[in-house]
Structure 1
Amino acid sequence: MDFNGRTFWKHPTGKGLKVKVPVAGESLPQGPQNAPHNPIALNQYHVSPSFPIVPPSTLECLRTKIRSFLGGQGPRSSPLSASKMGKTPSSSYSTSALLPPSTKMSSGVSFQTQGRHWRIGRTWYDFSTFDHPGGSEILYLARDRFSDSTYAFESHHMDQEKARKIIKKYAVGEELQKELERLNPTPAPKLTKPGDFYYDLRLRVLVMFREKSSKAGNSRGKKVNVGPTPLCLNLFYASFLVWVFAVYNTLYVNPSVVSAVFQGVAGAVLGAFGHNWIHQPKYKFYALLSLDTIGFSSTGWYREHILQHHMYTNTPLDNHFRGTDPFLITDPTVPRNFFQKYVTPILNPVILTFGLWGNYGFHLGEVLKGNEPVSIGKLFLPTLVYLFYSTSGVYGLGLFWLNTATTSIYYFTMALMNHNSENTLNVKTRNEAKDWGEAQISSCADWSIQGKFLPSIIYLWLNYHCVHHLFPLTDFSHHRDIQGILMETCRDHGVEYVAGEFWTIYKEMVESFSSPRSLFMEINCYNGS
């Protein structure tokens, strides 16, 4: 796109809304084609703000590189933090503290970043001196890689009353608020309020956890436990040992097709645990043991899965939205060619055999380009490839490929079912969602919702996916407890909730690959704006 102005964005099909990019210093006319409500154009297609972009200083670039090498962790305090200025964040500001928004890539999608401050519910905050209980890394990733922090704040703090009281004192002053709004014209969702679907659902679930805590002999006023149950932890330890045994068995004891397939199944179960652990800071090392060992990246998932896929599910800002292009098309708004309509949907199991390698290769490319930090986890997969080749030659490589193919088919089939059923691709329903929680209900598919924790292992615990998206910090061993509250709240608020049968949803997924369900429609990326 030409950032000197006079450039327009068009729908990939050649149809759709056009958005004019203003020249520096030029105001944006508020006509029907230029109203700044189009989140797709404003974010994915780099709409330039009406002021010249000032590149960061050499020192700032160096700081960014250092933070990237350390895994994206930001500084504990900024050079212009309130403590060093001798003032509270809201009292005053220096113009040098402002950082014009820049564009950052996150797994193939571009976002206009928030500068030196955080935007939550249309209010700007300075958390540079805040000791975040969940760690500083996730705090700075939310600011430095994405355009808004509202959804991340709402979905990761069940006790909103307490969380909002804490952050209130970090709000910047009125003058700085206005200047930051001018510098950041991207869509800004509002915080939910009492009476909204997601606000009420969150409160009901919090009450449930407090009651469970009280029955366990703890004070109702203390922090509730949403972490793994003892059964969940013990099952993880057993699953990891089974995977280690499976690798050893295929390498040195019985290098056969059956052994390789068994290793692949064990790897898929381990990956399911990694999907669970990546959301819980306390178990981040477990995520590395579960994801990096089988070829995924826990560092990549920590950003793209938590702050991108979960926040912008089934929109162009979701890194999964075009993850299988050009073979399996999941965008419901674009037409399919002959090959995509009649051939690849039927061959989806064959295509998915390459899923793990595609995931590894894409992330490795981002690391080499400097977009992602280097991690020791990137060495695990090539090490296993070397071991299989050194023990059994080309035959060993074939066995290892069969193992990764099994893991890929098993895991990615379940994951694609979660977001490609008929209900999840109804763009009209999603656009009408009044808040982020309602949008998640419209973007996730559930099945076997009465299943207990242990039997749900066959679905890799992805069958309670709406609950998982709405409460990402909550361990999947609690999902069944929340399911009834979710359905009751949907009924009370008139929110349509659809749960299906496994094979019905699988069939709908294959059909969605073949046929667009919301052709030429525009997707609202920021529900509640």
Structure 2
Amino acid sequence: MGKGANNLSASDLTISSHESLPKTLISWEEVQKHNKKDDCWIVVKDIVYNVTNFKKKHPGGNKIIEFYAGQDATEVFNAFHKDFDRVYKYAKAYQIGQIDPNDQSRLKLSDEEKQKIQREIEIRKDFKQVKKAAEDMGLFKPSYTFYALQFFQVVFLQILSYYLFFNYAQTSYLGVLLALVCNFTSKAQAGWSQHDYGHSSLLAKPRHNKYIHLFFMGLIKGGSSDWWMYMHNLHHAKPNVIGKDPDIRLEPFFVVGSVEPVLRAEKNVKKKFQNFYPFTIQQYIFPLGGPFLVTLLFQWATFYYVIKKRKYLDLISMLPMYIIHFTVTYTVFQSVIKCSAFYFFMRFFEGGWFTWISQCNHIVMDVHDDDQYDSWLQLQIRGTCNMEKSWFNDWFTGHLNFQIEHHLFPTMPRHNLYKIQPLVQSLCKKHGINYIVKPLWGALFDILVSLKKSGQLWQEAYDEIMMSI
């Protein structure tokens, strides 16, 4: 295990030191007290920052900083940021001290707690080595040919859908169907592409990626770039953590995991409110209900966000998609109802594609309310699994069949994720961490199995509470 658990020092509990450390020494015990929205401290590379006033200015949103209030945010900081020198330059104004190297506050622990911390130290150390290996292998460098081909695919399918619509939709239902397939396929693939640009995987500077992100998210998909980045950053920061990860916030329609069903049952009894249906049948409702809800949520949330937050650049990037789409469809259909129906089905199939792929990586895993931050590796793998590699799986999932690697290295271009997989698997094996890989159809089916189990847990908890009243 390396150093003995009883020989831990405060310096062992952080990841690395930082040049030009502030002179003020602060204990971990003191840092942990400042874990509130109006009193927010974080630690990055031994430096303590008071980010209470900064968090509203944070480009990634204030919530992601609040998630790590009173905690060591070094690993999440390293995962999200590429331009380190620039970030440190601006962050210096918020430095208030450094972790006391002779801090004794974390040494007042049981042997079991010390062993747990020592294991985390070893995992973090080994993970840094894997990331360094990825950098040495050039895995954070994008293939411009790959992204050019992705751009061509999306634009070609979009143009083809309108060509088919103009030339065949008036005379053939098959023409309408083919146009529909090309349209939602273009938007689904644009979804995987915008995902890369949202993580700044292509260009060095985030703002340059932002411009391309506006094209794919706004002009092609008709959604808000800023809204997506805000929500997705929260998901990455605390995946599968109840109340923090927006991607598992499916109530009141679905319950997931083993903790949320019990919490939901308690709310049902306390508020004397029964759901629209018993959760014991949610696995039958999800196949169509899940995509339907995602379709409505996307349409409502993206416009609500840009209007409320006054994101006018996003609004400008979004509107052309709607203007072009409805102009083209109305020219052929000459009916607002038919145009709206075509649009809804396009969104429904696109939303279904996204929903099934995104959920088979996460809700089938551990969904919990434990906010204890262990290590970046443990946090991400706890709520994430992979699917097998094949040319179809890579295309169909946008390379998110390597979801584990993506969550560990969110800025890595997706076409390189499979190359780092052997090192990640080796690291997990060394530390006894369960690394799960499933076949595609098995992963999709597991969504229904997981929902069935969660529904049964809700029913058992609900019945037990009612019997005790």
TM-score by length of 1: 0.61
Instruction: Say which of 240, 250, 262 aligns to 1:314.
Output: 240
Distance change (3 Å), C-alpha of 1:146 and 1:206: same
- Counting only pairs closer than 5 Å after superposition, residues 102-501 of structure 1 correspond to structure 2 as 112=37, 119-120=43-44, 123-125=47-49, 138=59, 141=62, 148=69, 150=73, 152-156=76-80, 171-173=95-97, 195-210=121-136, 212-213=137-138, 226-249=140-163, 251-255=165-169, 256-280=176-200, 281=206, 282-292=208-218, 293-306=220-233, 308-315=234-241, 316-322=243-249, 324-335=250-261, 339-351=277-289, 352-368=291-307, 370-371=308-309, 373-374=311-312, 375=314, 376-384=316-324, 386-388=326-328, 390-391=330-331, 392=333, 393=335, 394-421=337-364, 424-425=365-366, 427=368, 434-448=374-388, 450-451=389-390, 456-501=394-439
Q: Which amino acid aligns with 1:196?
A: E
Determine helix, strand or coil for the equivalent of 2:258.
Answer: coil
Q: 1:158 to 1:371 in 2, by over 3 A?
A: closer
Shift of 1:518: 11
Tell me the SS of whatever aligns to 1:240.
Answer: helix
C-alpha deviation, 1:487, in angstroms: 0.2
AA of the residue aligned to 1:327: F
The number of residue pairs the alignment matches comes to 377
Report the alpha carbon displacement of residue 509 of structure 1 after superposing the two structures with TM. Answer: 1.0
C-alpha distance in 2 between matches for 1:274 and 1:114: 35
For the residues of structure 2 that align with 1:378 and 1:340, how far apart are their CA atoms? 38
Partner Cα distance (2:375, 2:350) in 1: 35
| 2:295–2:351 contact (8 Å) kept in structure 1 | yes
Q: What's the CA shift for 1:390?
A: 2.9
In structure 1, distance between residues paired with 2:49 and 2:127: 26
Shift of 1:239: 1.9
Deviation at 1:234, TM superposition (A): 2.0
CA distance in 2, matches of 1:389, 1:205: 48
CA distance in 1, matches of 2:117, 2:325: 48
Deviations 1:261-314 (A, max 9, x none): 2211221111111112100024222222222231332111222212x1001111
The alpha-carbon distance between structure 1 residues 143 and 194, as it changes in their structure 2 partners (threshold 3 A), is: closer
Gaps of 5+ in 1: 1-87, 93-100, 104-110, 131-135, 176-189, 214-224, 521-529
Gap change, CA 1:251 and 1:332, over 3 Å in 2:
farther
Alpha-carbon offset, residue 119 of structure 1: 4.6
CA distance in 2, matches of 1:268, 1:192: 43
- Residues 459-468 or 228-237, more deviating: 228-237
C-alpha deviation, 1:411, in angstroms: 1.3
Counterparts of 2:397 and 2:98, CA distance in 1: 50
Correspondence for 2:106: none
Partners of 1:362 and 1:195 in 2: CA distance: 40
8 Å CA contact 1:329, 1:514 repeated in 2:
no
Q: SS in structure 2 opposite 1:327? A: coil
- How far the C-alpha of 1:410 sits from its partner, in A, is 0.9
Contact 1:333 1:517 in 2 (8 A): no
* Aligned residue number for residue 513 of structure 1: 451
Counterpart Cα distance in 2 of 1:268 and 1:258? 15
Kept after mapping to 2: 8 A contact 1:426/1:517 = no
- Supply the RMSD in Å over aligned alpha carbons: 4.3
- Does the CA-based 8 Å contact 1:279-1:473 persist in structure 2? yes
Q: Deviations over 1:329-351 (max 9, x none)?
A: 23532337683534442232322
Query: For 1:495 and 1:433, how far apart are their aligned partners in 2?
Result: 16
Query: What SS does structure 2 have at the residue aligned with 1:346?
Result: helix
- Letter matched to residue 366 of structure 2: L
Question: Conserved in 2, the CA contact under 8 Å of 1:192 and 1:435?
Answer: no
**Alpha-carbon offset, residue 137 of structure 1:** 5.5
Offset from partner CA, 1:228-249 (integer Å, 9 cap, x none):
2133212222123223314423
Post-superposition CA distance 1:90-137 (Å, at most 9, x none): 579xxxxxxxx999xxxxxxx82666x755478533799x9xxxxx85
Shift in Å at residue 192 of structure 1? 10
Task: Report the CA distance between 1:476 and its aligned residue.
Answer: 0.4
Task: Report the Cα offset of residue 488 of structure 1.
Answer: 0.3
> SS of 2:48's equivalent?
strand
Residue 366 of structure 1 deviates from its aligned partner by: 3.6
**Greater alpha carbon shift after TM alignment, 335-344 vs 278-287:** 335-344
CA contact (8 A) 1:330 1:420 kept: yes
**Alpha-carbon spacing, 1:312–1:143, altered in 2? closer, same or farther (3 Å):** closer
Q: Which amino acid aligns with 1:402?
A: F
Change (3 A) 1:493 1:347: same
**What is the aligned-residue identity percentage?**
17
Normalised to the residue count of structure 2, the TM-score between the two structures is 0.68
Contact 1:89–1:172 under 8 Å retained in 2: no
Deviation (angstroms), 1:163 = 9.4
Report the structure, 1 or 2, having the larger helix content.
2
Partner of 2:442 in structure 1? Answer: 504
Instruction: Give the letter aligned to residue 197 of structure 1.
Output: I
Shift of the alpha carbon at 1:384? 4.5
Unaligned runs of 5+ in 2: 1-19, 25-32, 100-115, 170-175, 201-205, 266-274, 459-469
| Structure 2 residue matching 1:226: 3-state secondary structure | coil
The Cα shift of 1:470 comes to 0.6
Match of 2:103 in 1: none
Asked if 2 retains the 8 angstrom alpha-carbon contact of 1:90 and 1:170, the reply is no
